Amino acid sequence: MASASASKRAESKAPGPKHNIEAMRQAYYERIAKHDMTPLWKVMKNVVTKEPLTRCAPVIWHYDDIKRLVMESGALITAEEAERRVLILENPGMRGESKATNTLFAGVQMILPGEVAPAHRHVSSAIRFVLDGEGAYTAVEGEKAYMSPGDFVITANWAPHDHGNTSHKPMLWLDVLDFPQVNFFETSFAEQFATATQPTSRADGDSLSFYASGVLPDGAPAALNRSPVINYTYARTRPIIERMMKAGDVDKRHGARVRYANPINGGPVLPTMGANLALFPKGFKGEKYRATDGTIFVCAEGEGATTVDGKVLEWGPNDVFVVPPWKHYSHRVGKESVLFSISDRPAQEALGIWREDTPSH
Ligand code: 1HN
């Protein structure tokens, strides 16, 4: 009503006969368009929306489909030929854009025994969460990290990285990259190295041991916007959420949850993406929550259901699902369960635009 009377007022003040004003405006819009100008008043409510608008849909990929289809790709192309043999988990609300959320890419990569994914580097940062297999490695900045399921590995902006599998089983992991953010700013660079594998200058586990043990190497930097730790192992992190649960530190929405931290400053592991690991006790029925970060979840253990915007996503081991920005969601589990998650919250916080809707906490 208010806007209708406001437009009446505007019309009565506008020059020319009333019936003519629309035609005059239209002619004016066409004239200014030739000068690459356009009226804000036609689009204002679309560009500064009252609440977040998202094209991102709540969606789940079940691991039995992922594994079957990714394994098929092994017979069609080698890791070396593909450079990275990854199936993109593409949000149905944004097909053709290689995105799981508006700001994050997600895909599942497979390395077969004996294969190498050659060394390269790029501005986009990556997070890997190991789903299947044992003992394949990723080499990052001179350190080879041999990986196990539940391990979480980071590759920071411009860090050289290659992968290989010296084990006897395929390894599959979830890749999450921030390239939609990098490409939003149009700041992507990438390069390949002349040799497929990089020389090793540090032992497996060095970065975790040096930086995440309550001590720091003498002379470690006092500020670093990305974690110096390459591999956060499940073996080290899982017992911590168990202790939290036993201590009664179980959030009504998020369970017994830790945030993977940069040991230099307690900040997020990467400036563009953050990660959490949460344990839900048997029978947990979470309260509703929403925040402006879009989140990718992976089930590390157990089974449960997450209701997102009224849609029920039922998950089990290694299933991957997406909660879009600003949609209410809640988790519930039967048996004790663990969810790993990744979101763009650090980027939003750095820009001062992150919000959560949490009236009673
Ligand atoms: C990439 O470099 C990797 O290094 C994985 O393993 C997934 C998806 C898009 C672009 C680059 C990797 C990627 C990627």
330, 255 contact by CB (below 8 A): no
Q: How far is the CA of 144 from the centre of ligand 1 (A)?
A: 17
Q: Which of 31-40, 262-271, 351-360 has the lowest mean pLDDT?
A: 351-360
161, 123 contact by CB (below 8 A): no
Residue range 8-34: mean pLDDT, rounded: 79
DSSP 300-360: EES-EEEEETTEEEEE-TT-EEEE-TT--EEEEESS-EEEEEEESHHHHHHHT---EE-TT
Does residue 14 or residue 238 have the better pLDDT?
A: 238
Residue range 334-361: mean pLDDT, rounded: 92
User: To test ligand 1's pocket by mutation, which of 128, 175, 178, 191 has the most ligand atoms within 8 angstroms of CB?
Assistant: 175
Q: CB of 89 closer than 6 A to ligand 1? A: no
User: Which residues are within 8 A (CB) of 110 and not within 5 positions of it... i.e. 6 or more apart?
Assistant: 70, 71, 73, 74, 79, 85, 170, 171, 172
Q: For a pLDDT cut of 70, what percent of the chain falls above it? A: 94
Residues constituting the chain: 361
Q: Whose CA is nearest to atom 7 of ligand 1?
A: 175
Q: CB of 212 closer than 6 A to ligand 1? A: no
Q: What is the pLDDT of residue 1?
A: 39
Q: How far is the CA of 85 from the centre of ligand 1 (A)?
A: 9
Residue 359 banded pLDDT, cuts 50, 70, 90? low
Q: How far is the CA of 84 from the centre of ligand 1 (A)?
A: 6
Where in 190-284 does DSSP place strands (E)?
190-192, 231-232, 256-259, 274-280
Q: How far is the CA of 329 from the centre of ligand 1 (A)?
A: 29
Residue 361 banded pLDDT, cuts 50, 70, 90? very low
Number of helical H runs and strand E runs in the chain: 9, 22
Residue 358 banded pLDDT, cuts 50, 70, 90? confident
CA 55 to chain centre: 16
Q: How far is the CA of 138 from the centre of ligand 1 (A)?
A: 12
pLDDT at 248 over 60: yes
Q: CB of 175 closer than 6 A to ligand 1? A: yes
258-290: buried (b, 16+ CB within 10 Å) or exposed (e) per residue? Answer: bbbbbbbeebbbbbbbbbbbbbbeeebebeebb
Backbone angles phi, psi at 255, to 5 degrees: 70, -160
How many Å from the N-terminal Cα to the C-terminal Cα in the chain? 37
Q: What is the pLDDT of residues 55-65, one digit of tens each?
A: 999 999 999 99
Q: How far is the CA of 177 from the centre of ligand 1 (A)?
A: 7
CA 33, 36, 41: angle at the middle one, nearest 5? Answer: 65
Provide the residue ranges of all domains of the chain, joining segments of one domain with +. Answer: 2-47, 59-357
The half-sphere exposure of 146 on its side-chain side, counting CA atoms within 13 A, is 7
For the domain made up of 59-357, give the CATH fold.
Jelly Rolls (2.60.120)
Taking the C-alpha atoms of residue 163 and residue 346, their distance in angstroms, rounded to an integer, is 27
Q: Which amino acid is at 275?
A: A
User: Which residues are within 8 A (CB) of 90 and not within 5 positions of it... i.e. 6 or more apart?
Assistant: 96, 97, 98, 99, 100
Q: What is the pLDDT of residue 7?
A: 52
Q: CB of 267 closer than 6 A to ligand 1? A: no
Q: What is the pTM of this model?
A: 0.93
Q: For a pLDDT cut of 90, what percent of the chain falls above it? A: 93
Q: CB of 138 closer than 6 A to ligand 1? A: no
pLDDT at 174 over 50: yes
pLDDT at 147 over 80: yes
